[in-house]
């Protein structure tokens, strides 16, 4: 298992970590298998979506803000209840197939670390498994 450290700069942002994950898969020399990506944070998430047009990231963040507004009268006293809810909606793990030593992603797909309570220092755990 490998760990990638992430430094976020904003309260909410999507960081494309595809190349970092691809580097780990390449270093593993696994030709066929799976790549498991997990974060052990309750106010962040992982998603796979379009990485060609940056407006997609903004649209997703805006939609999540409309669904779970920053100021919604939440009971959680720390003030980051919306981040916990957004993390639950997005999820904290993904699995991607590996074929011919590469992540099996679609043409426009990228892997994004989703920050909902930043800025912070975060860790992403990657496990590459041979099949």
**pLDDT single digits (tens) 47-106:** 999 999 999 999 999 999 999 999 889 999 899 999 999 999 999 999 999 999 999 999
CATH number of 2-130: 3.30.70.520, 3.30.750.24, 3.40.50.11540, 2.60.120.460?
Answer: 2.60.120.460
Closest CA to 86 of 124, 50, 42: 42
Q: What is the pLDDT of residues 116-128, one digit of tens each?
A: 999 999 999 999 9
Q: Among 12-21, 34-43, 69-78, 112-121, which stretch is predicted with the lowest mean pLDDT? A: 69-78
Say what the pTM is: 0.96
104: which DSSP letter?
-
């Amino acid at each position: 298992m490998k760990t990638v450290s992430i430094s976020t700069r904003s309260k909410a942002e999507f960081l494309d970590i595809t190349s970092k994950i691809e580097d780990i898969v390449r270093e593993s020399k696994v030709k066929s298998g799976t790549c498991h990506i997990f974060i052990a944070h309750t106010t962040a998430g992982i998603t796979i979506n379009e990485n060609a047009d940056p407006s997609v990231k903004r649209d997703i963040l805006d939609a999540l803000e409309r669904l779970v507004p920053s100021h919604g009268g939440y009971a959680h006293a720390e003030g980051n209840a919306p981040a916990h809810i957004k993390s639950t909606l997005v999820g904290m793990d993904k699995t991607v197939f590996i074929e011919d030593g590469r992540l099996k992603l679609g043409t426009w797909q990228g892997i994004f670390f989703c920050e909902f309570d930043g800025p912070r220092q975060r860790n992403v755990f990657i496990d590459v498994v041979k099949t």
